Amino acid sequence: MNATNSQPVSSVSDEEITRFSALAEQWWDPSGPMRPLHAMNTLRIAWAARHLPLRGATARRARVLDIGCGAGIASEALAKEGYDVLGLDASANGIAAARAHLDSTPLPATAGPLEYRCGSAETLVEERQTFDAVVAFEIIEHVTDPAQFTHMLAQLVRPGGTVVISTMNRTLRSFAVGKVGAEYLLRLLPVGTHDWRKFIRPSELAQYARAAGLHTTAIAGMAPSPSGWKESRDMGINYIAAFRKD
């Protein structure tokens, strides 16, 4: 909370938005600066889908919010899984790239509806919007206050709904591999993509979730392999977690 006016500090970091906005036109290039997201997307979508509400459990499609959607890599994949998806991002450039890709590469007829919106979690909370599920992939380590952000995710999901978060663990190994290796040695990511000090330990994420009224239902590591990213017991670098709101 802001000590001056007791109002919540915005979750949106202008510095982060500027950085990712500059990459918007390259977002959909699987060999470009977002190639790690392309590489892990199949795993994170499949894992999330196992824990999200069933797509046909009711007369309507389950409504999913993809917050911090960037140019829509996960949003399109979730729609293809049959969900009714809203992709939200504070970067106007990112949302423009998401819409452009959707226009140029239409979803199959079996996909659920997909809408994009430029905005923040705070806007949806103020509008009192709620969803059957909220996914936040590789975004919580880029917000200004992860505890407050988790609280907003809980506000945006309906009782009985699911929140899925993927992020990076703050370990010496993640510093060596996820920061130094990925950005400086292998050049898998643009330099400055991550601030290792903002990486979040699983215990910290669970604490934020409990304080927000969510309880952990599943957690797993995500690790690259020669045949693609795999679910792992090793959460030393990347991990993904599901939470339920009672």
Annotation-wise, does 89 bind a ligand? yes
Nearby residues of 186 by Cβ (< 8 Å), 6 or more positions away:
none
Distance separating alpha carbons of residues 183 and 191, to the nearest angstrom: 5
Closest CA to 74 of 119, 41, 32: 41
List the structure tokens of 89: 């991002």
Distance separating alpha carbons of residues 119 and 128, to the nearest angstrom: 14
- Order of all β-strands in the sheet with 230-232: 114-118, 84-89, 63-67, 131-137, 157-168, 238-245, 214-223, 230-232
Residue 42's CB is within 10 A of a number of other CB atoms, namely 12
Annotation-wise, does 137 bind a ligand? yes
From the number of C-beta atoms within 10 Å of its C-beta (0-12, 13-18, 19+), residue 200 rates as: buried
Annotation-wise, does 192 bind a ligand? no
List the structure tokens of 80: 């293809």
Annotation-wise, does 197 bind a ligand? no
Binding residues: 44, 68, 89, 137
Binding residues for S-adenosyl-L-methionine: 44, 68, 89, 137
